[in-house]
Amino acid sequence: MTREERLLAAVIDAVDTLVDDFDLIDFLHTLCDRCTELLDVSAVGVMLEDPGGSLQLIAASDEHTRLLELFAIQHDEGPCVACHRSGTVRLNIDLTSPVQTGPFPVFAARARQAGFTVTHALPMRLREEVIGALNLFDARPQDLSAADARVAQALADVATIAILQHRTVAHANQQRAQMHAALTSRIVIEQAKGILAERWNTDVDVAFDAVRRHARAHRLGLTRLCRELVDGDLDTNAIRRP
């Protein structure tokens, strides 16, 4: 494929996040492959922020890069960590230059041991929200061109939008599931109230109060208790009548 076709394929990969069986890990590993192809770099890693705000390594193009990225996270040092923290791009960092690697000498030494001489870090962000960093490594002492830098940031941006879209869909599905569960619980509770009210010849409010008191006294979930009543697994005589 031509470079343009490969770039389009990367965008299509991102669009696939709209499907129900979207695999985030596979998507990010594919992103690593696309970056190495399109940008002619030696290795790629992707870090994402977890719900607690800490960086986690999610994908890497090879084992050396995976270990290097884990090292950066554990020591809280490196262009990738700084990029995520500031939300700004860090390009053409010469890992052999004490001047450029001054803020992270330990990481630079470890990166050189892994065979890398240049690194780049691009924020994965949408407006003010930074969710991670895309990290590029090269074993050759060559800078990333301005054109390649734009492509790299475009890939990072597309991946960010895809991830946020996936989270939105997942959250919406979770909310729908919670609402469905709530509605189902409501039906079971109403049924249990009706059963008790009919057997006690009282109104449903009295029955509901009795069920709630019993659930609290025995540390049972209200829905679970009502389901046992409806299914006949709990004798109504076990519940103290007001």
Least Cα distance to 212 among 232, 239, 185, 231 occurs for: 239
Architecture of domain 181-238: Orthogonal Bundle (1.10)
182 or 86: whose pLDDT is higher? 86
Least Cα distance to 131 among 216, 225, 236, 24 occurs for: 24
pLDDT at 116 over 80: yes
pLDDT tier, 89 (very low <50, low <70, confident <90, very high otherwise)? very high
Per-residue confidence (pLDDT) for residue 220, from 0 to 100: 83
Share of the chain above pLDDT 90, in %: 36
pLDDT at 52 over 80: yes
Q: What is the mean pLDDT of the chain?
A: 85
**Rounded mean pLDDT, 10-22:** 59
**Rounded mean pLDDT, 172-193:** 80
Residue spans per domain, the chain: 3-172, 181-238
pLDDT at 111 over 90: yes
The fold of the 3-172 domain, in CATH, is Beta-Lactamase (3.30.450)
Per-residue confidence (pLDDT) for residue 2, from 0 to 100: 64
pLDDT at 17 over 60: no
Per-residue confidence (pLDDT) for residue 124, from 0 to 100: 94
One DSSP character per residue, 171-234 reads: HHHHHHHHHHHHHHHHHHHHHHHHHHHHHHTS-HHHHHHHHHHHHHHTT--HHHHHHHHHHTSS
Say whether 46 sits in a helix, a strand or coil: strand
Per-residue confidence (pLDDT) for residue 94, from 0 to 100: 94
Alpha helices in the chain (DSSP H): 3-15, 24-39, 63-75, 79-86, 105-113, 146-200, 204-217, 222-231
**Rounded mean pLDDT, 43-68:** 90
**Rounded mean pLDDT, 108-115:** 94
Instruction: At 182, list the tokens.
Output: 């709530």
pLDDT at 107 over 90: yes
Per-residue confidence (pLDDT) for residue 24, from 0 to 100: 77
Please write the tens of the pLDDT for every residue from 195-226.
888 888 888 888 888 888 888 888 888 888 89
**Rounded mean pLDDT, 148-164:** 88
pLDDT at 73 over 80: yes
Per-residue confidence (pLDDT) for residue 189, from 0 to 100: 86
Q: Do domains 3-172 and 181-238 have the same CATH topology?
A: no
Global model pTM greater than 0.95 = no
Per-residue confidence (pLDDT) for residue 37, from 0 to 100: 84
